[in-house]
Each structure stands twice: as structure tokens, then as C-alpha cells.
Structure 1
Amino acid sequence: MRWLISVLVAALVLIGITAPASAAPDGTLALASTALRAGEPITATYSTPRPHAKNWLGLYSDPGNGPVDEKYVGPSTAWTYLTAGSGTATLPTDGLEPGDYIVFALAQDGYQWLAAPVKLRIAGNAPLHFVTETFDLRNARALTPYQATVRGVVRGDTDGVTFREAAGPQWAQVSADGSVTGTPRLSDVLRPSRVRVEARNARGETSTATISVEVRPPGLSLVPELRTMSFNLWHGGSQVDGGREKQLSTLLKSDVDVVGLQESSATSTRELAEALGWDYHQAGTDIGVISRYPIVERKQPGTGPLSVATRVRVRLDDHQDVVVWNVHLGYNPYGPYDACFGKMTQEQLLANEERSGRTPQITAVLQEMRPDLATAWRTPVLLTGDFNAPSHLDWTPRTRRCGYDTVPWPTSVLPAQAGLRDSFRVANRNPVTTPGTTWSPIYPIFTGGYGHDSHKGEPEPQDRIDFVYYAGLLGVTDSKTVVEGKPAAVPNHRGNAWPSDHAAVLTTFRTSAL
């Protein structure tokens, strides 16, 4: 895995075993074509006065998702080594989303430029189509102007795409750019507002979808039900073919309102939000939040233990906000491996939780959340994330996990002590009948590492490590894990309909009491 190679190289540099090339980009890089269709290979011609067996060519989505500052940002979508001082190289584009990309020639398994990067555009080779045939847009209020968009949820050959309304209520209009606008009447709250939208590209291909808009009456809550998801994108969705479309399909089918994202690889948060016509906050290169409703406050990650968390405030209505915290806690050492393979004592497990950084991280995050938690009775608080650790609610005498009666995993005990509730366990109280496993739908077998290589090939400890916590006047009406289809296990995962190595968690809250 290239991200692991880069981490190892960086470590070697720090201890002085090797040093990266320090010269300015003095080579050349050119592409045979800067306009391709998905499936057509990228052919690059290059030269460098600094040949090395580990120089390499990397393809990244553009803008932003690449070593633009000669530093690691996220994984490449395709790569190959450039072993000579000059020559040609090819990169595959099979399964890539249509859009803008950029090619970098980079030095010695690192991220220093050998030449100026080159941009290109990849067009879709699939027929024009909506990601899903039916989906909901944000709620509308009667007598109030409304606006949403469907432009970003068509895929395939979108060259010259335009939109029109094929059928729908009198109040709704669909413009050629995919905007849905209008002012619902009072009478529109009495019937569903369903709009049939047609998309047409320059080749004359068409696709249609039915969108629904719930029209709420004046004076009542605009969002009486809030659907919240925690979703690890697995390196931005780059690990499966057509990952971006599959992510969009998941979000639309789930009819979700607010999503905490992990492993967003710098650009996925923005790209998903723009496709959906939503608001977003990207925090660093890993975590982000997207919201169907406006984000009115944003907080960047802090330093040290707080670097794994971000905060936004979402305005659901004129007098109805919700604060959303999103985290991605440290991953190594991993508690279930230490418990199930290492057979450590409870004291050793808790010491390793501290060593992993997770305990300091969740402690610091909860300390930072204290002002929000103190006013959660007025403004509800959500905490989403990939915690990379189980819950003490799942390791009980009834479950008897790996021989343990109980384990007080700090990343779940401390939120509970701070007044947060685990929405999945509120809705599904029995961990025996409803385990809620999120790690992992594609790793049934342990593949090694984490200090437990002797157990490679044994069953992977399956556990619930992704969460939606809450505090305040919210009522949980449902919570479930989300996985599309029956994903094939690694290494046969590229064609999976599900784009992640985690299951997502989707919780529906009742907000009408606010």
C-alpha cells in the first residue's frame, strides 16, 4: 500500500537512514492526451536527470487530492514506477469517476516533484444515468422560496447535460442546470410533492428520476426527523471501482441529513457535498461533515489529541440547530486483536488503549465538548466517528467476547460518563441478537500486522467500532448498520457495490419536541 510505503520512508528520513531528493523539479512530464474516457489508459512521456528505481508516477483527483505541496495528502488512484531516466509509462483509468485529474512524477517513493504535474479530464463511458431512480431533497416550507439541485447526481457521459421537469406539482420548476426552485403553497402540504426530472446529454441520451420534497406548514419544525450517519469512506472511496457513485447512491438511498465522514482524502467531503448540493466542512485531509441543511459554524481540528476531531453547527430551522462533532481516533494497537489474539489482562488492554492515543484523544475531545454538552438541553449534540475501538456495552457476560466477561473500553465509557448516549444501543439493546458489527464487512480473515502476525489466517474479530452518540432533546426512532449488497472479501473487493471496509451507522432521531 503506497500510504504505508510513504510512512516508512518518512520514518527512515527522520532517523537519518536515507534522505529524499532535494532538487527542484528539473525533469519533464507530458501526456499523449489530456482528454480521455474512462477505460482508456493514460500514456505519459517523462525524463529526469535523477533516475531511481523507486521514482513513480501517480494519478490523483483534482483539485487538491495530491502532493500539491510535495507532501502526502491522500492515496493515488493509480500509480506505476518510473525506473529509467526517460521513457513512457501508462496508468489505467478503468472504473474511475468522470472528472478532473492530475498526474505527478515523484521521487523515490516520496512526494517531491520530478517535473511539473499535468492535468487531464476523464469523461464517462457509461450511458447517462441518475445514481438512483428515486430520492428525496431537503424539506421545503409552504410560502417560503425553495432551492435545491439534482445536477451532481447524474453520472456516465454528462457532456452537455441539461435538465427539465417531465411532471410535477405546479409550484416546482426544474431549470436546465438542474436547479429545483419554487414557492410551495399552503395546499401543497396536503399532498406529496413528487417531481419527475429528465436529464439529457449532448449525444441525446436521457435518464429520468423521481424526486420528492416534503412541504412543511408554517410554524411547525422544518426537520421533524433527523437522519445522521457515520461513514468511513476508505481512502475516499478509491479502493473500489466507481467509488464516488457508490457513495452517492448510499447517501441518497439512506435519505440522510448529516454525515460525519472519515478517510475523506482531502477532497471527498467537498465533492460529495457539491454533487448533492449540500453544505460541507473539510477538516484537514481525513475528517469532514456534509449536511443537507446549512452549516453555520465550523471548527478546524486542534493540535495533539484534538487533531482527530472537528465541530460544526447545523441550522435545521430558524430556531433549531444541532451541534455535530466528528472524530477518527487512533488505530494501533487495536483492542480486539490484543484481547482475542494476545489474551492480555484487562489492565494490559487499558494500557494499550492509552498507548494507541485513543484514550487521550477521547478525553481531550470530551473536554472540548463540555460547553456544548452543558447546553445540550437547548441545542442537541451529536458525536459521530470511527473510534477504532469497541463499546463496553458489547463486551458483557452475555456476549462473553474472546473469554472476557467485561472490558471497560475507555472510548465508550468516557462518552457515557460525559452524558452522551450510544444511539445504536438505545435502539438495539441486546448485543447478542443485534451485534451491529461495523468492522468489517470485507475482512472475515485476519490478514496480519499489529504485532499479531502469528494469528494471520484466523477469523477476524468482528466488532462495532463506528458510532453515533447524542445528548439533548432527541428521541431515537431507529438505528442500524448500512452495507450495500454482499461485499466480496479482500482481495476481491474492487467490484463491490459497497465502497468501504467499514459498515456505516445510520440513526434516525425525532426532533419535533424541540
Structure 2
Amino acid sequence: MSQLLRRGVLVACLALSSLLLPLLPVSTVAAQSGPAVTTDKDVYDFGEPITVSWSDAPGNPKDWVGLYPTFAGPPGGSSGATLWDYLDQGDGQTVTPEGTLTWSQQRPGQRDTWPLAPGEYTIYLLVDDGYEVVASTTIRVTGDTDGPEPPPEDEWPANPSDPALSRKLRAMTFNIWVGGTQVKFGSIVRAVRKARAQVVGVQEPGDNLERLANRLGWKHTFTSDDGYTNLISAYPLSAPKRSDEYAWLRFPGGGRVAVSSVHLTPYPYGPYDLRDGASTDYVLFNEGTHLEEMKSRLEALSALAEAEVPVVLMGDFNVPSHLDWTSATAAARQADGEDFVRPFPWPLSMSLAEAGFRDSFRTAHPDPVQQPGYTWTPGYPPPIGDQPANLTDDEVFDRIDLIYVHGPVRTMSSRVVGESYRNAHIRVRPWGSDHRAVVSNLRVRPLYRR
């Protein structure tokens, strides 16, 4: 075929195709879609409300959104969400495949952590109360985390000294882990008995505060009106007239002691954040939450102590003590691979020490290297029989369950109660909680007036 003829055939074919193409059926391909989560802005000023939107969520009632510091990595590790909500912004009963919510001072979601510390955060869309991530987006909160410069370690407050007194009281702090039924309730009862406690500050009692007292043969329980302070005792307990921060414990034959129990916010948890790479300023900023939680209680109990009332403060404080994060302990823990541990001025324990509260365990065991006294954690669950403890490789062990005393109270001894003699002074098997307990043998001068 000649060159000219080939060119003519090609032209004819092109012309014919141009006529036929409009008559052929057209196949369209829809754009790929899937779950998405977005925010109304990428950068927020400090304290500014954050509006989160989502679409094409998987369609489970308990699908949820969670905000985490980006440095903490994806959800599912030991660091909990800083803010979170089910998509129905309620109790996770309604399927909400698309929608919008706003976190703010007025509505900080399911975890009251507001305002956010300046830094970068990732918001995840997660499936059915679990940690499967189907979408995420990143935001930044601007602002200055700098507060007053922490004092150098040699200016940190020491643990105050005790007075000499006579009346005996054995006080125990015990987070019994969701009502004490996660392992065996009998293990919780045995722990209190073996500690020979006379008053117990109970955290996470669920509906089992009276059940625990009854199993011990005790008739005295106390729960504050706000449900925050929970105590059981071998001795009578009564509410003061003008405070929800403590209860009166009455000795046989007369005399009273003010006893209190706290369970502070668990997240953000400073040791985990430091492990995950947070700055000192970031962690100190977030510790303002614990200071605020303790403000009214600290004022009320300090006023009692100034009036020569014996005060015993028990609790799961969910924050370590500056007495444990020192140069000496940092050197020891860094040698064990915990490179993030450093001398750290935990504000709450420093505030308590400056107000005159004495850490009873550190009074009895002044050397935190020789006696770390870790209460978090034996595992969740702890070791049972041949079953090892459920612990992650990067778990941070610490002493966060504490007994403080103030006023005319003296610590004679203090012991950790837990799953093994390697980690505790008093052993109970099987151990029934994800926290170890602490029992302190005290001498007090009771209040005989008012």
C-alpha cells in the first residue's frame, strides 16, 4: 500500500471514530470514598474550641473520636486519650455515621482535660469502643507553656519531720480495681486483713464499699455527697458539718482524726508522656489539673492541721512524688534503660510538702533507690498462678498510691502490700488489683474538743 493510501485510510478511520464515539455507552467510575475525620482549623489558639467533623464512620453505636498528643503514637498503648467522645456524644447507643462535635471549656468531652497544653495533637476516628483507626487528622494548639522556672533540685522541699505521739492507727490506701471483682473479691478482703488496717481509703469501690466493710466485719463506711471520698473503718466515721473533703474517725473512748481519700484524674499521665517524648514544660502544664483537683482539699486539711487536728490523707494520686524522681533515682533507672527518667519537680507532691504534709512511706523509707515502693503496677491483671503479669515492655513503674499525714501524726512504719515479696513487704496471693496498696502504722494525738 502506498504512503498516500495509508495516510488516507488513517484519516478516514479517525473521522469515523469521531462520529461513533458519542453513540457508545459511557462508563463512569465513582470517586473512592471512606471514613474521614476533619477539623474546622489546622491551628488553634490556646483555649480555643475545637470542632471535629466525621463522615462515613463504620456505623457502630460505640464508634468514637479520640485526641492524643502526636508524640504518644497511635491509640492502644498505655497512654489514654486526652479528649474523647462517642460519635453520638452520649453513652454510645446511637449509630452516627456522620456528624460534628465541639470540644471546649463548656464541653470538654468524656475526659475533662481542658484547656489543652500547646503542642501537636492527632485526632483519630476509631471503631466500636476499640483502637482500630479508620481515619485521622492532625492539629496544633499554639501558646506558651512556660510557667515559673522550677527551682533547682537542691531547693526542692524535703519531707517534713514527724512529732512524737502515742495513739495508734493503721491507715491503708487501696485502689481495688473496678469494685474489686476483676480477680477475686476475696483477695481484696484478705489484703486488708493481712495489712491489719483500721481505716482504708478505697479507690474504685464501684458498688462494693459496704460489701467490703461487711466482709471485714466492719460497720462503718463513708461516701461524700459527690461520691469522691470513700472510706471504710473499724471505727465510727461521720461527716463534718461544712466540708465534703474528709470524714471524722472516732476512736473508742473518744478523740477524733480527720481522714480523707482521693482518686485523681489518671490522664494525661506524666510518666507516660515523658516516656513518649514530651517536654518538661508540657508535663508541668498538664499537672495543673491535679493541683486544681486538690486545691480545696489541700486548703481544708491544712486548716485542720494548723488547728492541731491530726490529718491522714490517703489516695491514688495518679502522679509520682518529687521525692522519687531525683538525681540518684534517675541515675539508677537510666542504667536500667529508662533514659527518660530525670530529676523532676512534680508540682503536687511539692505543694503538699510545702504545706507541711509528710509522705509516710518516704518517712519510713527515705532512700528511693533502695526502697522504690512502686505501687503502679503489678499488672492488669497481675500474675495469677503460672500466668504472668499483663504488662507492656515499656511500662513505667512508679509510686502513685500514697498516704500523707499532717498535724499531730507520726509515722512508725509503712509497707507496700502486693503480689510478691520482690515487690512488696506484705504478700497476698492471688493479688486482686492492678495497684499495690500501702499501709502505714501511725501514732496520733486525737482531737478531744469541738
TM-score (ref. length: structure 1): 0.49
Alpha-carbon distance in structure 1 between the residues aligned to 2:259 and 2:405: 9
Unmatched segments (≥5 aa) in structure 2: 1-60, 66-83, 96-109, 111-127, 130-164, 334-338, 383-390
Matched, 1:321 2:263: no
- Show CA shifts across 1:370-392 (max 9, x none): 332322x2x20011100001000
- Show CA shifts across 1:119-140 (max 9, x none): xxxxxxxxxxxxxxxxxxxxxx
Deviation at 1:251, TM superposition (A): 1.3
Matches within 5 A, 1:252-291: 252-265=193-206, 267-275=207-215, 276-283=217-224, 287-291=229-233
**Which residue identity does 1:312 align to in structure 2?**
A
Alpha-carbon distance in structure 1 between the residues aligned to 2:316 and 2:413: 20
- Pick 1 or 2: higher relative contact order, CA cutoff 8 A, min separation 6: 2
**Which residue identity does 1:239 align to in structure 2?**
Q
Structure 1 residues 18 and 484: CA distance shift in structure 2, 3 A: closer
Match of 1:224 in 2: 167
Match of 1:296 in 2: 238
- Show CA shifts across 1:114-171 (max 9, x none): xxxxxxxxxxxxxxxxxxxxxxxxxxxxxxxxxxxxxxxxxxxxxxxxxxxxxxxxxx
Alpha-carbon distance in structure 1 between the residues aligned to 2:259 and 2:282: 33
Report the structure, 1 or 2, having the larger strand content. 1
Alpha-carbon distance in structure 2 between the residues aligned to 1:444 and 1:297: 35
Alpha-carbon distance in structure 2 between the residues aligned to 1:381 and 1:7: 45
SS, match of residue 429 in structure 1? coil
What is the percent sequence identity of the aligned residues? Answer: 35
Deviation at 1:299, TM superposition (A): 7.7
**Number of matched pairs:** 282
Alpha-carbon distance in structure 1 between the residues aligned to 2:237 and 2:229: 15
**Which residue identity does 2:404 align to in structure 1?**
Y
1:481 pairs with one of 416, 421, 433: 416
Structure 1 residues 487 and 13: CA distance shift in structure 2, 3 A: farther
Do the aligned residues in 2 keep the contact of 1:230 with 1:468 (CA within 8 Å)? yes
Alpha-carbon distance in structure 1 between the residues aligned to 2:347 and 2:417: 25
1:351 pairs with one of 277, 280, 285: 285
Match of 1:510 in 2: 443
Deviation at 1:16, TM superposition (A): 8.1
**Which residue identity does 1:255 align to in structure 2?**
R
1:498 pairs with one of 412, 431, 449: 431
Matches within 5 A, 1:36-55: none
CA RMSD, 1 decimal: 3.5
Do the aligned residues in 2 keep the contact of 1:477 with 1:510 (CA within 8 Å)? yes
- Show CA shifts across 1:427-483 (max 9, x none): 0000000000000011699xxxxxxxxxx9433111000100001222211001101
Do the aligned residues in 2 keep the contact of 1:325 with 1:384 (CA within 8 Å)? yes
SS, match of residue 370 in structure 2? coil
Following TM superposition, the consecutive aligned residue runs of length 4 or more in structure 1 with deviations greater than 6 angstroms are 299-302
Unmatched segments (≥5 aa) in structure 1: 22-71, 73-107, 110-220, 303-309, 446-455, 489-494
Matches within 5 A, 1:405-416: 405-416=342-353
- Show CA shifts across 1:69-88 (max 9, x none): xxx9xxxxxxxxxxxxxxxx
**Which residue identity does 2:211 align to in structure 1?**
E
Match of 2:86 in 1: 12
Structure 1 residues 358 and 513: CA distance shift in structure 2, 3 A: closer
- Show CA shifts across 1:399-442 (max 9, x none): 11544442111221111111111000000000000000000011
Alpha-carbon distance in structure 1 between the residues aligned to 2:310 and 2:227: 27
Matches within 5 A, 1:22-101: none
- Show CA shifts across 1:353-398 (max 9, x none): 22xx2121122321233332322x2x20011100001000000011
